[in-house]
A and B are shown apart, each in its own frame.
Chain A
Amino acid sequence: MNRIAMLGGLIAGLGFFFLPILNLKPNRLASGTSFNLLEFQGDDRYLMLFLLALIPIVLSFRNDAESRGWMLVGSGSLLFLLTLILPAGAGANLLLDPEAYLGEGAFIRNPRILPSGGMVLGLLGAYVTIFAGVRDLARAEVQMWVQAIATWVAPLIAIGLLVNGSFDVYSILVEFYANGAALEQKFVEHLMFVFISLGVGFVVGVGLGLWASRDERVAPVILYAVGIIQTIPSLALFGVLLVPLARLGDRAFLPTLGFFGVSLAIALVIGVSYVLLADREPARLKIVHLLATAITATVPLALFVGVFVSFLFRLANVGFTSGAYDSTTTTIFGLLAAALVTWIVGRWFVKPDGFLRTWLRRANWLLSGATTVAVIVLFVQAAGNSRVLGTVDSVSTLTIRDLGVSGIGVAPALIALTLYSLLPLVRNTYAGLNNVDPAIIDSGRGMGMTPSQRFFQIELPLAFPVIMAGVRNAGVALVGIGTVATVIGAGGLGDFVIQGIVNTSIDQILLGAIPAIALALVLDATLRGLEGIFTSPGIKQVQS
């Protein structure tokens, strides 16, 4: 008796019986008509799904666990595959003559097919059946293998079918084919939001976390400040930035640059005097002095970085998506891939102190250098594009807005996203460094390690997994928050979502949401992988 297998069969069977398997809509907006499996009576193939759902129920009464297990795995897999494939065929039939199903005169311009609840329950039931079967198998390693195959092969088959075009009848794919080029551009934009703000946020956040961990007086101030940012709703933050950035955008470029320079010089004077006087000042004055240094330096630096990054974003966006520089873009990705391959091979697949490793290392340096050069070339090419600087003809008439900073658009989006990334980065850097056992640092000091040796050899490697967890948190969050940036006209995958909401078109929403989800998952997995590679086995969390 295998109750779980019975449950799997029941889920699939009842799903097929009571819930619609497909939904046919006469156009994008209208709500459609649902079709139950039984409504395809003329075609026996669809009745097979019912039979397949019955098999686990019958099998569950068998007593020989081992053979029952294998049969369940087999029938479950078959159920899974056919539930994926067969309805698509039925859908194609529906599309052939929609009026036959929707009635004469239904407004049919762009008929669409959506998979419905019955299909979801069918797949779920199939999975439950497979795992019920796995549990019946006697040997643990066989179980492990079958489970791994079931977990990985099924989605791979689904992806294969997708690529093969088997699902093309479904409306989300129709939407995808209609918007392919736009999707690519929005995806690249989204990717750049995430990477640029994560990159800037990483430098700033890890820096602040480091400062907080070194100086217990400023720690509460910093942690409190980044905590406050997190409580501001993202929409409000975009809004708050609107006015100051619009003002900044109006300014002429050269005077503003002069202003940055002067305030940085002032900050430098205050900073140097702080360092020189540090030992002689009373504690009270010292902290005021320190804060003055921080503020005078931060404001112009932040503005400068903001303007610069916005401009880079504009360059990159034009460079990667305009299609005008495809050969350069291809070169960049080619070089990047080659650099990655030499790095991976050099690190894991050759002898540690062999001649090949030295050689590969050199090649890697060369390729990384070449990639950098190619990116610069792309930026220079893009800088000449009329989409970047518009009609500006001399530096003296250049405004900050021409560089890409304005109240709406990319600049506020990047700033807000960077601010949002700070909390996990600062908090995790601070926690990671602060939680290093003082006895470990003390023994490092006692053995004669210099402060920088201690930092790079002890503190950083020990805090690394915690910092990386912060990077992952920030990255995944940014992918999500990035979709909101559309409301200030910054673009990204959020464009589809908002349009979909406006049009009440689930397909459009999914067109934005699915790539965002996939991006978040891939980013998380990649960062986890990096974390695993660079974390010493001595401090890895034990897998249980």
Chain B
Amino acid sequence: MIEFQNVVKRFPDGFTAVKGLNLKVHEGEITVFIGPSGCGKTTSMRMVNRLLSISEGKILVEGRDNKDFPAEELRRKIGYAIQQIGLFPHFTVLDNIAVVPRLLGWDETRIRKRVDELLDLVGLDPDVNRDKYPRQLSGGQQQRVGVARALGADPPIMLMDEPFGAIDPITREVLQEEFLQIQKEIGKTIIFVTHDIDEAIKMGDRIAILRDGLLEQYDTPDNILAHPKDRFVRDFVGSDRSLKRLGLVRVHELMDTEKVPSVRIRDTVEKAEQVIKEHNVRSAFVVDDDGELRGWVDLDGIRHSPKSLLDAMTEADYHEIGVRKNNTAREALSAMVARSFRITPVVDKSGRLLGSITLKALQDLAEQGWGDEEGNGS
């Protein structure tokens, strides 16, 4: 979809900001450019829509050299959003979003429909916001309008330069989540520039790590965390990269649905004791007839009330002790550490026990990366 071929950028003052970039951005994916400040992320991105000229090499857009398109035409089919947002303060929200459609000569009814559609998409009520001016919006709302504007004419490609940079961390997380949701629907080919590694891991289908105008490593977030190519990348992704990797994996990918230590609430105490020993765990989960998690039972409890399971068990709210299958492995780990569990139940939203996840499984996953790296050396 977008391909950098030996791209070099030399500025008039002689400074070479990009020194031979080779990279292929895949269709329908978010490719994140990341690296230390001044490494050439913005420069590389701005050559795609020819806001900067290319000194050597070329960039293919949809298979054609981007110099073959007239610059304005090229830019109109590439959405563009920047950190400073750059909304036109003298235009209403509607007029801002309508910029590219109007340049393309759409008729007004179609434009109005499109604007309302986009405002809905980015979570702003069209009737309330359409006629407002940028200064009447909060920073987060402006950022949303900026994204809507970039999507204005439904461009197949988007360039986003730290689009959530100027926003407080909480709002940024919300916008990231929302944008991932939107991307699921629209499936654009996106170059996303950031210098926040957590954002890169969260947003990127692929991450390109740049350093001094060169591509250091280009891979999926998981592979970059698991197999950082060299010391620079390792330092860049941070010493907590094992934990970060756990953040990429969802609980349902790791959970065990077969060997779950569970007993029914009407079962006998002996049955419970047997399950605990069989699974070699400290406690077993107790579920009711509907399969809803009600608590757990351990050997101590059985020793105190050897007659009835109901007396022996410790009742607990499934919200308290269970994790959901869409939580990340990192969240599961955090829950286990907080409650000093070695195994934690996985429940659905009405509390039914779906399976379990063990501390061991999480450890194994986190260690994979370190193990490989020791093997490869560097």
A residues engaging B (CB < 8 A)?
437, 439-440, 442-450, 453, 457-458, 461-462, 535-539
Contacts and interface: CB of A to CB of B under 8 A. Distances in A.
A472 to B, nearest CB: 20
B345 interface: no
Given A443-B80, A446-B82, A539 B75 contact: no
A448 B86 contact: no
A448 B82 contact: no
A537 B133 contact: yes
Nearest to B135: A538
Interface string B137-180: 00000000000010010000001000000000000000000000
10 contacts: A439-B85, A440-B87, A440-B89, A442-B86, A447-B75, A448-B73, A448-B100, A462-B90, A536-B90, A536-B91
B89 A447 contact: no
B86 A439 contact: yes
B254 interface: no
Nearest to A461: B90
Contact of A462 (B49, B72, B89, B92): B89
Given A439-B85, A443-B80, A538-B135, A448 B91 contact: no
List of 10 A-B pairs having minimum Cβ-Cβ separation, nearest first: A443-B86, A538-B133, A448-B75, A536-B90, A439-B84, A446-B80, A448-B76, A439-B86, A448-B72, A538-B90
Contact of B103 (A443, A445, A448, A535): A448
Nearest to A449: B103
B159 to A, nearest CB: 8
A445 B75 contact: yes
Given A446-B80, A446-B82, A440 B103 contact: no
A17 B226 CA distance: 97
A397 B217 CA distance: 85
Contact of B49 (A439, A440, A446, A538): A446
Contacts of B89: 440, 462, 536, 538-539
Contact of A539 (B82, B86, B90): B90
B82 A442 contact: yes
Given A442-B51, A462-B89, A538-B90, A447 B103 contact: yes
B310 interface: no
Given A538-B92, A538-B133, A437 B84 contact: yes
Nearest to A537: B133
A202 B80 CA distance: 37
Contacts of B135: 538
Contacts of A462: 89-90
B99 interface: yes
A4 B167 CA distance: 51
Contacts of B85: 439, 443
Contact of B99 (A437, A439, A449, A461): A449
A179 B21 CA distance: 83
Given A443-B82, A443-B86, A537-B133, A450 B51 contact: no
B88 interface: yes
A458 B51 contact: no
Contacts of B49: 446
A537 B95 CA distance: 13
B102 to A, nearest CB: 10
B51 A446 contact: yes
B74 interface: yes
A442 B85 CA distance: 10
Nearest to A457: B88
Nearest to B136: A538
B134 interface: yes
Given A445-B51, A447-B80, 6 more contacts: A445-B75, A447-B152, A449-B72, A449-B99, A450-B72, A462-B90
Contacts of A447: 75-76, 80, 99-100, 103, 149, 152
B163 to A, nearest CB: 12
A535 B89 CA distance: 11
B144 to A, nearest CB: 15
B227 to A, nearest CB: 35
A445 B100 CA distance: 11
A55 to B, nearest CB: 49
Interface centre among B75, B90, B159 (most CB of A within 10 A): B90
A118 B243 CA distance: 87
A444 B90 CA distance: 13
Contacts of B72: 448-450
Contacts of A448: 71-76, 100, 103
Contacts of B134: 538
Contacts of A538: 89-92, 133-135
Contacts of A539: 89-90
Contacts of B92: 538
Nearest to B86: A443
Contacts of A461: 90
B158 to A, nearest CB: 11
Contacts of A453: 103
A446 B91 contact: no
Contacts of A535: 90
Nearest to B84: A439
A440 B134 CA distance: 12
A449 B71 CA distance: 10
A444 to B, nearest CB: 7
B86 A437 contact: yes
A446 B50 CA distance: 9
A462 B133 CA distance: 14
A443 B133 CA distance: 17
A497 B369 CA distance: 92
A440 B80 contact: no
Contacts of B51: 442, 445-446
B136 to A, nearest CB: 8
A446 B49 CA distance: 7
B237 to A, nearest CB: 30
A444 B75 CA distance: 10
Nearest to A439: B84
Nearest to B71: A448
A453 B102 CA distance: 12
A537 B91 CA distance: 9
A280 to B, nearest CB: 16
Nearest to B74: A448
A444 B88 contact: yes
A536 B159 CA distance: 29
Nearest to B79: A447
Contacts of B71: 448
Contacts of A450: 72
A217 to B, nearest CB: 14
B39 to A, nearest CB: 20
Contacts of B90: 461-462, 535-536, 538-539
B59 to A, nearest CB: 15
B162 to A, nearest CB: 12
A538 B137 CA distance: 11
Interface in B38-54: 49, 51
Contacts of A449: 72, 99, 103
A440 B85 CA distance: 8
A450 B82 CA distance: 19
Nearest to B83: A439
A461 B91 CA distance: 10
Nearest to A443: B86
A443 B49 CA distance: 12
B167 to A, nearest CB: 15
Nearest to B132: A538
Contacts of A458: 88
